Amino acid sequence: MAKRVVLAYSGGLDTSVAVKWMGEEMGVEVICVACDVGQGGTDADGYWNMIRDRALSAGAVDAEVIDCREEYAADYCVPALKANALYEGRYPLVSSLSRPVIVKKLVEAARRHGASAVAHGCTGKGNDQVRFEVSTRALAPDLEVVAPVRMWGLTREQAIQYATRFDIPITQSKEKLYSIDDNLWGRAIECGEMEDPWAEPPDGVWEMTQVRATEPREVIIEFLAGTPIAVDGSQISPAGVIERLTDIVGAYGWGRIDMVENRRVGIKSRETYEAPGALALILAHQDLESITLERDVAHEKLRLEHRYAELIYDGLWFSPLRQALDAFFEETQRHVTGEVRLKLEPGVCRPIGRRSPKSLYDYGLATYEAADSFRHDDAEGFVRLWGLGVQTWAARQG
Q: Is 128 noted as a catalytic residue in this protein?
A: yes
Q: Distance of CA 180 to CAs 52, 171, 190, 293, Å?
A: 19, 13, 6, 37
Q: Which is nearer to ligand ARG, 254 or 273 (CB)?
A: 273
- Determine which helix (DSSP H) or strand (DSSP E) holds 240, and give its type and residue range: helix 238-250
355 — phi, psi (to 5°)? -155, 155
Instruction: Give the nearer residue to ligand ARG in terms of CB position, either 8 or 63.
Output: 8
96 vs 337, beta carbon nearer ligand ARG: 96
Question: Does 359 qualify as catalytic in the annotation?
Answer: no
Contact 245, 340 (CB under 8 A): no
Q: Which of 14, 36, 181, 287 is catalytic?
A: 14
Distance CA 175, CA 195 (A): 15
Q: How far is CA 52 from CA 28, 104, 137, 146, in A?
A: 19, 20, 27, 21
Distance separating alpha carbons of residues 171 and 12, to the nearest angstrom = 7
Residues 6+ apart with CB under 8 A from 34: 8, 9, 10, 11, 48, 51, 52, 55, 63, 64, 65, 66
Amino acid at 216: P
Which of these is catalytic: 10, 98, 128, 322? 128
Please report, as ranges, the residues that interact with ligand ARG according to CB under 6 A: 95-96, 127-128, 179, 181, 188, 190, 271
Which lies closer to ligand ARG via its Cβ, residue 44 or residue 191?
A: 191
Give 271 or 289: the residue with its C-beta nearer to ligand ARG.
271
Output the smallest distance, CB 91 to ligand ARG, in A.
7
Helix (H, G, I), strand (E, B) or coil at 229: strand
User: Rounded to the nearest whole angstrom, what is the least distance from the CB of residue 130 to ligand ARG in the complex?
Assistant: 9
301: enclosing H helix or E strand: helix 295-313
| 290 catalytic per annotation | no
CA–CA dist 285, 197 (Å, integer): 31
Shortest reach from residue 271's CB to ligand ARG, in Å: 5
Q: Which of 52, 54, 99, 256 is catalytic?
A: 99
The minimum distance between CB 263 and ligand ARG, in angstroms, equals 6
Active site residue 14: yes
Q: Rounded to whole angstroms, how far apart are CA atoms 126 and 131?
A: 10
Q: Which is nearer to ligand ARG, 29 or 182 (CB)?
A: 182
In whole angstroms, the minimum distance from the beta carbon of 172 to ligand ARG comes to 17
How far separated are the first and last CA of the chain, in Å rounded? 81
Exactly one of 57, 62, 90, 179 is catalytic; which is it?
Answer: 179
Helix, strand or coil, per DSSP, at residue 351: strand
Least distance between ligand ARG and beta carbon 276 (Å): 17
Catalytic residues: 14, 99, 128, 179
